[in-house]
Copies of this chain bind each other. A is one copy, B any other.
Amino acid sequence: MSTPPNARRPDPVTMEVVELIGDVVARFYEDYEEAAGEHALTGAQARLLSLLALEPLPMRKLALKLKCEPSNVTGIVDRLEVRGLVERRPDPADRRVKLAAATEEGRRVARELREGLRFAREPLAGLSDAERRSLRELLRRMLGVG
């Protein structure tokens, strides 16, 4: 009874893929934190800044995208604002809303951050172009994108 014969365990290949993905996740995260650190940013600050580099967003939307409580966003934006990387703007359409926006300096840092990700180069460099396309297709399918 301790090991029901019909326990739905993933097959061995799936289990190994999950483990490999875990390794990729660990490596990617490590790389991201390091790249953020090179700009004296925490991971959370780097993620928020990267979002704002695309478009200004209300504090509430930032919380949704970062999957955290709105009260946290206040503090993270505060710290980025002190450093001149982010600014708060009023929303003409709704005076309750504050739009957080990356400054020019903030966008510059975000771009350097993105380009500093080693993971974009080294591990993938070991694959041929055909293999990268194959990997792209499999990841798309996995994520339900394609």
Contacts and interface: CB of A to CB of B under 8 A. Distances in A.
Count copies of this chain in the complex: 2
By DSSP majority rule, is chain A's interface helix, strand, loop, or mixed? helix
A92 to B, nearest CB: 32
Interface in A94-146: 115, 117, 119-121, 123-124, 126-127, 129, 131-136, 138-145
Interface residues of A, number: 44
Interface of A: 9-11, 13-18, 20-25, 27-30, 67, 115, 117, 119-121, 123-124, 126-127, 129, 131-136, 138-145
Q: Nearest 7 CB-CB pairs, A to B?
A: A20-B139, A123-B142, A18-B120, A135-B138, A25-B28, A25-B25, A13-B132
